[in-house]
Structure 1
Amino acid sequence: MPDDPATTPPPAAGAARGPSGPDRPRAEGRGLTPEAPAAPPRRPRRQPTQVDLARHAGVSQATVSQVVNETPDRPARLTPETRQRVLDAIADLGYRANPAARSLKGKQNRLLGLYAFEPVFPVDQRDFYFPFLLGVEEEVARQGYDLILFSSAVAGARRPIFVEGVNRLRLADGAVLLGRHMSREDLAELVAEDFPFVFIGRRELGSTPLSYVGADYAAATRELVGRFAELGHRDIAFLRQPGDSEPTADRERGYHEGMAGVGEPITHEGAFTTADLRALLDAGVTALLAEPTEDDRIAADVEAAATELGVSIPEDLSVGLLGDPTWSQSANDWTRFAVPRPEMGRRAVRLLIELLENGHDTARQDLVACEYLAGETLSRPRRSGRS
């Protein structure tokens, strides 16, 4: 009875049917070579363990553990010869310590985390966050640490640090945080866990002090108001961003302090239109101080409104930016102050390492001075305004 083609497997590719096919016994004799057995599948190479290191170096596992887990403040108490034998075994076998395991033991891995509450990767040199990241990377390398970039593991606008109750930053010894729209709930959880972190930018959490490195926006804004006042401006409007974030609050405080004895404060919040500019000019305003956004929208809006009304900057209207534009296509060289973003990133890393090495029971803060840039959008007012 012939084989059922539906149940009989086909011959291997290249095999012949009939007497010379795969069912024919292979002869072994002169001129004929027996078929070699199939090689067993290769197993993945096993990672060497501390037991392997001990056997290779001819020492105890406890000795190996001393070398693997030593730190600058807790060196291995071994003779130089014994320690070198363990190091040679590590090099010979290609041993790599498990960072997560070391974290569970409470030891530092010399790994620093970087977490952003907004999407910042990939970036380019015109990006708002790029200078911060550049400063962080430079200082981490200079200090001899490694850097882990954390991004959100959850889809959506919110970027939580804690996922299903687990702090994903725990792989690192501590973390640098940045982002305008952070989660205060996550910050409270980090404080409760006693996890070391430093925020780039001044941040508050109720009555709980946080460690941060921020720009001194209040002092820089106050100085800018003073420079406008020195040229005769008295009616200076402040264009602020919506919300009560710390950077906005600091700029607003500096504006009010600077306007004391100069003129009555005038504040506009949110989007800026041609109608808004017309209303301010009709009220006698001769200068604007604008809080920039990450996308430079406010600078573009002021420029567009002035163009539509035929208002010349700075001849008819002086304009100052309370920060430096990031990637604006404007031809204006704005009068402004520069935010020291790379330096803030570097100082945040130094402060984090200080917390790790000296304890982080007490929060530490550092405000960095901003640099005034004269630009070309400030001149004496043609009219005296309301006064």
Structure 2
Amino acid sequence: MAVTIKDVAKVAGVAPSTVSRVIADHPRISPATKKKVKKAMKEMGYHPNASARSLANRSSQSIGVVMPSSADKSLQNPFFPEVLRGLSSVAHQTDYSLVLCTGETDKEMLEGVERMVYSNRTDGIILLYSQVDDPIVNFLLAQDFPFSIVGKPSDRVDEITHVDNDNVRAGKEITKHLIDLGHECIAFIGGSMDRVVTMDRMRGYQLALEEAGLPYLEEYRVHTEFLKSGGQRAVEELLSLPEPPTGLVVVDDLMSIGVMNMLEECGKRVPEDVSLVSFNNVYLSELTRPPLTTVDINIYDLGVQAAKGLIAKVKDKSEPAKRIIVPFDIVHRSSAKEKEATSPSP
């Protein structure tokens, strides 16, 4: 015979209505009572009826997660599985499920988000990217629908809950590391110019060069996809310059792998001929040869904080927008070394 709420209430020594409130995570139920009821539910093998609970709460108990492009491309980058792992950990603890939304174009992605909102399939949405003049952000704001962003919004920053690193400072510090090693010709390989993270990291790169009295040259800045193939194309362009760079700041670890492969094909050694630094510290960073010096942005924690911020907003729409800054660290490995002094011409 199936276990009922009344059975759980009897074992826990509370009223059936109290069990219902615990299941609904009612704020007026004390932590001690919640713990006692949940213990009884677990011991008795009781599982709430999710559909009935959703109807009672007018909640889907689902969170929509929007990827920045089609899943086959996004999931090539270890950043996304790791940030999803952080989101999932919080979703599991709070009995939410995740619904992925992807699309090849901005239009397809917007249509997917519209379907989720209009059909009440999700209680809130998390964007795993931040884009300049994003139609999805504009739509969610117009609908007053709960959402959060992993990254910094390009506009209306104080109105949108978002989780980010200080990417300007990170870009400045990792570039300064190459400058401190004696490099003066330093290039920047970034993703699309409509991604806020690219612009912030490039701004940090610019500030470091200017503070060191080094030129900020357009030909030393290449923008391409956040994929290995994108990194390969960037190297071809930079090595064709009259004075190729001896240091590279690459905006993403996956792109860095393509950069390193292409440098090797062109007969350039890392770090002997070209020093390279990167961002994200995905698991591949220490498996490359040589292992990457990179900025650890604590991807898992970005996901955790984004989910917590959104769920707080879902439970209380009057919750003010929050800006959560996750700290970063520079992980020093073997892809950057001191530049050898050039022998003077005879």
2:240 match: 279
Distance of aligned partners of 1:246 and 1:342 in 2 relative to their CA distance in 1, 3 Å threshold: same
SS at match of 1:186: helix
Q: Does 1:289 align with 2:243?
A: no
User: What is the identity percentage for the equivalent residue pairs of Structure 1 and Structure 2?
Assistant: 19
2:12 match: none
Q: Which amino acid aligns with 2:246?
A: T
Report the CA distance between 1:180 and its aligned residue: 6.1
1:24 match: none
Report the CA distance between 1:381 and its aligned residue: 1.4
8 Å contact from structure 1 (residues 112, 145) kept in 2 = no
Pairing 1:154-303 to 2, within 5 Å after superposition: 157=105, 158-159=108-109, 160-163=112-115, 166-170=118-122, 172=123, 174-179=124-129, 184-205=134-155, 209-262=159-212, 263-266=214-217, 267-270=221-224, 271=230, 272=233, 275-280=236-241, 282-283=242-243, 285-292=245-252, 296-300=254-258, 302-303=259-260
Larger radius of gyration: 1
Q: Which amino acid aligns with 1:334?
A: L
Distance of aligned partners of 1:103 and 1:230 in 2 relative to their CA distance in 1, 3 Å threshold: same
SS at match of 2:63: strand
In 2, distance between residues paired with 1:351 and 1:190?
16
1:151 to 90, 100, 125: 100
8 Å contact from structure 2 (residues 131, 154) kept in 1 = no
- The structure richer in helix per residue is 2
Q: Which amino acid aligns with 1:313?
A: V
Report the CA distance between 1:182 and its aligned residue: 9.9
In 2, distance between residues paired with 1:163 and 1:140?
21
8 Å contact from structure 2 (residues 185, 246) kept in 1 = yes
**Can you list the C-alpha shifts for 1:329-384, whole angstroms capped at 9, x where unaligned?**
74221111122111111112232344345654531111212221111111121246
1:131 match: 82
Q: Which amino acid aligns with 2:237?
A: D
Pairing 1:77-88 to 2, within 5 Å after superposition: none
Pairing 1:45-84 to 2, within 5 Å after superposition: 68=20, 71-74=25-28
Report the CA distance between 1:218 and its aligned residue: 1.6
8 Å contact from structure 1 (residues 202, 247) kept in 2 = yes
1:316 match: 273
Distance of aligned partners of 1:140 and 1:151 in 2 relative to their CA distance in 1, 3 Å threshold: closer
In 2, distance between residues paired with 1:132 and 1:274?
28
8 Å contact from structure 1 (residues 290, 299) kept in 2 = no
Which one is further off, 250-259 or 269-278?
A: 269-278
Q: Does 1:347 align with 2:305?
A: yes
In 1, distance between residues paired with 2:163 and 2:116?
30
**Can you list the C-alpha shifts for 1:126-160, whole angstroms capped at 9, x where unaligned?**
8331111222222334xx411212134x9865232
8 Å contact from structure 2 (residues 160, 322) kept in 1 = yes
2:320 match: 362
8 Å contact from structure 1 (residues 204, 210) kept in 2 = no
2:338 match: 380
Q: Does 1:140 align with 2:91?
A: yes
Distance of aligned partners of 1:274 and 1:155 in 2 relative to their CA distance in 1, 3 Å threshold: closer
Structure 2, gaps ≥5 residues long = 10-14, 225-229
C-alpha RMSD of the superposition: 4.2
Report the CA distance between 1:213 and its aligned residue: 0.7
Q: Which amino acid aligns with 1:265?
A: Y
8 Å contact from structure 1 (residues 337, 373) kept in 2 = yes
TM-score by length of 2: 0.71
Pairing 1:28-47 to 2, within 5 Å after superposition: none
TM-score by length of 1: 0.65
Q: Does 1:115 align with 2:65?
A: yes
8 Å contact from structure 1 (residues 53, 64) kept in 2 = yes
In 1, distance between residues paired with 2:244 and 2:89?
48
Q: Which amino acid aligns with 1:176?
A: I
Distance of aligned partners of 1:127 and 1:330 in 2 relative to their CA distance in 1, 3 Å threshold: same
In 1, distance between residues paired with 2:139 and 2:194?
22
SS at match of 2:183: coil
8 Å contact from structure 2 (residues 152, 164) kept in 1 = yes
Structure 1, gaps ≥5 residues long = 1-46, 58-62
Q: Which amino acid aligns with 2:140?
A: L
In 2, distance between residues paired with 1:303 and 1:256?
23
Which one is further off, 223-232 or 195-204?
A: 195-204
1:17 match: none
In 2, distance between residues paired with 1:361 and 1:126?
33
